[in-house]
Structure 1
Amino acid sequence: MSNKDIAIVGLGYVSSLGSGIETFYNKIDQNLPTTKMDTYDPDGFLGKRGFRYFSKATKMYCNLAFQCIYQNKVNDVVELNKDRVGLYDGSELSNIEDGFVFDLVAKHDGPELVSPMSTPNTIANAAASQMAIQTKITGPNFSINGGTCSAIQAIDIASMHLKEGIVDCAIVGSTETISKYHKAIREGENRETKLPIANEYGVSIALERVETALENEQSIFGIIVGVISGQSYKEQSHENLLAFLIQELITNNGLTISDIDMIMVGSGAHNIDGVTLSSEISKTLGEIPKLFFPEMVYGNGDNAGGLTSILYAIGLFNKQLKEAKGYFIKRTIQTEGIEITPINAIVATIDKTGYTVVTLIKKYN
């Protein structure tokens, strides 16, 4: 195993069904529906005082980050050196409702009548910054705005900081929130998809260098082997770019297409055509492994799908998920699951602009 590999040592999930990774796997296995959340900090990590004016995205991100920290000895690493811990929020649209409300009040009633307590919620980095305040973490603090690619971009930056020795632990989270403003944006995009729309939920993972995780005798759920990104050029199709990046990622890591057990379009599936993608991958790589669209089961959203697909892959790695759903067959996405225990899985995300991020996830041992 390369010393550049990054270990996944903590997992978090929250939705209307509750919190914790088992909640996510139960949702997938039993096809449980989710709704708008009643509370965004169901575990009460933030306490009961002083949080009235926090945005729901901030509350959700903090809950997710706390989940990651307080499991698998991640807390030991965090408490040892809080200036060596990074917080990364891969969410672009989660605070948009708060920004709209702030601007509308200022326009309608005048700037002097806008509540100053609402101001932090209009800042792009509000969620990760608030988590830093709550925990006194003083390492890098980032929000990544890349549309459907946001979550995997956040992993890419966090992995770079780990490899360069800037941090010893990275907490990456992404959230999906719903409001009339989110719905208006989705309608304005004219998404042509039969995938179900994602409801409110959030996902997080904790990352460390493999050697750090082994030294601290931590559980390792999976390995981030590599990340690669690109932008479509001129008349290049999204599907052609995606196939090219998958080829580059596989080649750069000394693998062949036969080593890849599944490719998941984890976020932004509405921006590509499955038939065309299958054809492009087949032309580029000579053959195509099993292709999945897991948004079929957790919903087509704005931010978190890429990170959710990593949880999905981990569940299959460790047999916490019974079957893999969202399998692409000819021209349709199969709703019933198939049995698969992958060793190597690729998670791809693609924005409507053609920007694409692809990551290779590997089962540990």
Structure 2
Amino acid sequence: MERVVITGMGVISPLGKTVDELWSRMKRGESGISRIDAFDTERLKTKIAGTVADFDPEGLFGRKEARKMDRFVQFAVAAADQAIAHAGLKLDEMDRDRIGVYVGSGIGGLSTLMEQDEILRTRGPERVSPMLVPMMIANMAAASISIRYQLTGPTLAPVTACSIGNTAIGEAMRLIRLGVADVVIAGGAEATVNELSLASFGNAQAISSRNEDPTKASRPFDQGRDGFVMSEGAGIVVLESLAHAKKRQAEIFGEVVGYGASSDAYHIVATHPEGTGAYTAMRTALADAGIQPSDVDIISAHATSTGLGDRSEGQAISRLFGEEASRIAVTANKSMLGHMLGAAGGVEAIALIQSLREGIVPPTINLEQLDPECGLVNVPTTAQSALLNIGLSNSFGFGGHNAVIVLRRFEG
């Protein structure tokens, strides 16, 4: 069975538009959350989000191409460009039939749909863009990357809500393990910071309304948390068989050694209160990797800053790891990034790779009083140096989708 390694990474996020910028700001415990100024939020309960500043799609792709892409596709392609360059892939010397693209989006081109609906209502059906459907459908990030680089291997756009990034990486790992592909571009993208999604999540009382102090709003595991903070961006990695990477003498940044998926089979939006699905996915991922709970050094928690979600995840960690739970460092990236929805798993996987490479646990900010109902989790609030070899990354989504990947520091 092929070993699967990570040879390239790319990020577009509220904390930076490169991996280096993202990671340096995360280590400093900075927040990417701010007041929304792109549209009128007066009637919205929530007026804050994590947005990507100074993103110039026309500068990246040219005006003609940029106008054919919804913002989530622009993010995905920009992050893929970074990851492919970072990996040093010489595509003209490679078998493109054995290069796949597994990139998903939870909601797809919602902003494009809203814009075209407004045109339909105000200017009539004759003015609706013929590009509406191809711009809004969730598979278009994967398709656009495939088309841009003429990658003719398997292409998949998983739609598992906020667990998409881990689903994509895990299923891509399986594809390479089976020998079906040599390389897979994997991850997720999202761009739904708009009036409609904020109104819906706000009316569902799922998102924070701590508008007076945006940087303090995302508070995973904190007793005073009041909901997640919506964010946007993309996180893309290049996965490759170890044999293929070594043959082309690629630099290797980490290894994907395990993947577990499960369903809560409980509720369309609520996490199972006992975290049974999270527990099963974590247990399955460890078994797939052939490691014991005692081998894990760090957990990148899904931890969105919701009451039930953080509590159930903390309890699942405590159940699986037992006394080890108080030893293992748990980090909650969403305290700084906000919740990037379908992009979260990819970006958080990249942050975990950086943790393993540098031996640094990034802080979980805004954690002032740990909710005792979150179990025995050990959540550092300042950056810590540690010997890190194996990390677990959790991603869970609406509908009860759970996806967990196990990453290992690469040692040859």
Which residue of 228, 244, 264 corresponds with 1:212?
A: 244
Q: Supply the distance in 2 between the matched residues of 1:165 and 1:232 (Cα, whole angstroms).
A: 31
Check if 1:339 corresponds to 2:401. no
Q: What letter corresponds to residue 244 of structure 1 in structure 2?
A: T
Could you say which residue in structure 2 is the equivalent of 1:301?
340
Check if 1:262 corresponds to 2:298. yes
Q: Is the 8 A contact 1:40 1:60 kept in 2?
A: no
Could you say which residue in structure 2 is the equivalent of 1:315?
354
Q: Supply the distance in 2 between the matched residues of 1:156 and 1:354 (Cα, whole angstroms).
A: 17
Q: Supply the distance in 1 between the matched residues of 2:230 and 2:386 (Cα, whole angstroms).
A: 25
Moved over 6 A (4+): none
**Aligned-pair distance for 1:341?**
3.4
Q: Is the 8 A contact 1:89 1:151 kept in 2?
A: yes
Could you say which residue in structure 2 is the equivalent of 1:354?
400
- Could you say what the CA RMSD is over the residues aligned between the two structures, in angstroms? 2.8
Could you say which residue in structure 2 is the equivalent of 1:130?
144
Q: Supply the distance in 2 between the matched residues of 1:222 and 1:121 (Cα, whole angstroms).
A: 34
Taking the TM superposition and a 5 Å limit, the aligned residue runs for 1:147-166 are 147-166=161-180
**Aligned-pair distance for 1:312?**
1.4
Secondary structure at 1:8 match in 2: strand
Q: Which deviates more, 84-93 or 30-39?
A: 30-39
Q: Supply the distance in 1 between the matched residues of 2:143 and 2:188 (Cα, whole angstroms).
A: 14
Q: Give per-residue Cα distances to partners, 1:88-137, cap 9 Å, x unaligned.
A: 22211241111232234335543322122444212222222222222222
Could you say which residue in structure 2 is the equivalent of 1:14?
12
**Aligned-pair distance for 1:68?**
1.2
Distance 1:112 1:281, change over 3 A: same
Secondary structure at 2:100 match in 1: strand
Q: Give per-residue Cα distances to partners, 1:339-358, cap 9 Å, x unaligned.
A: 33321111111123322111
Check if 1:230 corresponds to 2:276. no
Distance 1:50 1:355, change over 3 A: closer
Check if 1:187 corresponds to 2:202. yes
Which residue of 263, 280, 290 corresponds with 1:244?
A: 280
Q: Supply the distance in 2 between the matched residues of 1:15 and 1:279 (Cα, whole angstroms).
A: 29
Q: Give per-residue Cα distances to partners, 1:70-104, cap 9 Å, x unaligned.
A: 1232x225652222211222211241111232234
Q: Supply the distance in 2 between the matched residues of 1:282 and 1:297 (Cα, whole angstroms).
A: 24
Could you say which residue in structure 1 is the equivalent of 2:26?
28
Q: Supply the distance in 2 between the matched residues of 1:165 and 1:250 (Cα, whole angstroms).
A: 22
Give the TM-score, by structure 2 length: 0.78
Distance 1:27 1:65, change over 3 A: same
Q: Supply the distance in 2 between the matched residues of 1:55 and 1:69 (Cα, whole angstroms).
A: 21
Check if 1:39 corresponds to 2:55. yes
Q: Which deviates more, 151-160 or 103-112?
A: 103-112
Q: What letter corresponds to residue 19 of structure 1 in structure 2?
A: K
Q: Supply the distance in 2 between the matched residues of 1:127 and 1:230 (Cα, whole angstroms).
A: 25
Give the TM-score, by structure 1 length: 0.87
Q: What letter corresponds to residue 224 of structure 1 in structure 2?
A: V
Q: Is the 8 A contact 1:9 1:218 kept in 2?
A: yes
Q: Give per-residue Cα distances to partners, 1:295-334, cap 9 Å, x unaligned.
A: 1122123112222221111111111x75421288852765
Q: Which runs of 5+ in 1 are unaligned?
A: none
Distance 1:238 1:186, change over 3 A: farther
Q: Supply the distance in 2 between the matched residues of 1:77 and 1:136 (Cα, whole angstroms).
A: 9
Q: Supply the distance in 2 between the matched residues of 1:113 and 1:275 (Cα, whole angstroms).
A: 48
Q: What letter corresponds to residue 345 of structure 1 in structure 2?
A: G
Percent identity, please.
20
**Aligned-pair distance for 1:273?**
4.7
**Aligned-pair distance for 1:216?**
1.3
Could you say which residue in structure 2 is the equivalent of 1:173?
187
Q: Supply the distance in 2 between the matched residues of 1:78 and 1:362 (Cα, whole angstroms).
A: 30
**Aligned-pair distance for 1:17?**
5.8
Could you say which residue in structure 2 is the equivalent of 1:60?
75
Q: What letter corresponds to residue 312 of structure 1 in structure 2?
A: A
Q: Supply the distance in 2 between the matched residues of 1:279 and 1:15 (Cα, whole angstroms).
A: 29
Q: Is the 8 A contact 1:40 1:56 kept in 2?
A: no
**Aligned-pair distance for 1:171?**
0.8
Could you say which residue in structure 1 is the equivalent of 2:42?
none
Q: Supply the distance in 1 between the matched residues of 2:181 and 2:100 (Cα, whole angstroms).
A: 6
